[in-house]
Structure 1
């Protein structure tokens, strides 16, 4: 999926996606030339890795 697709799927802005990518905090991505793409399996794995049961819980790894 494109960065725009990812932003819509996660309910985030495109700027958030770019910042998360630059900081290494977002889903794994693939560079195809100048294009950034996200695989659905990587996005789902990133969501699962960030699952929490409370707002004070540390991220599970």
Structure 2
């Protein structure tokens, strides 16, 4: 049975996992709300979330994903010098 999990199921799996858990690019794409192609391009360009490559598998550590999200800042306007909103609550 090789059914694809829904985005909600992937998000729940990610949320309930310990910070040491490893996830594939399909789960990460659901978490970041992006395509797997974007993740592949980011890996090729050396950008984005740090990853592990074990054989042919690409895996992402949950703690690395959370750190990456914490570093992404949302500015409300160009006038917000030094002020930001975080994607992840501290």
Same fold (TM over 0.5): yes
Rg larger in 1 or in 2?
Answer: 2
Following superposition, which runs of at least 4 residues in structure 1 exceed 4 angstroms of deviation?
A: none
TM normalised by structure 1 equals 0.81
Q: How does 1:26-41 map to 2 (within 5 A)?
A: 26-41=48-63
**Structure 2 residue 24 is matched with structure 1 residue 2:** yes
Q: Which has the higher strand share?
A: 2
Q: Which runs of 5+ in 2 are unaligned?
A: 1-22, 81-90
Deviation of 1:55 after TM superposition, in Å, equals 5.5
**Structure 2 residue 40 is matched with structure 1 residue 18:** yes
- Paired positions, count: 57
TM normalised by structure 2 equals 0.57
CA RMSD, Structure 1 to Structure 2 (Å): 1.6
Rounded to whole Å, the distance in 1 between the matches of 2:66 and 2:75 is 17
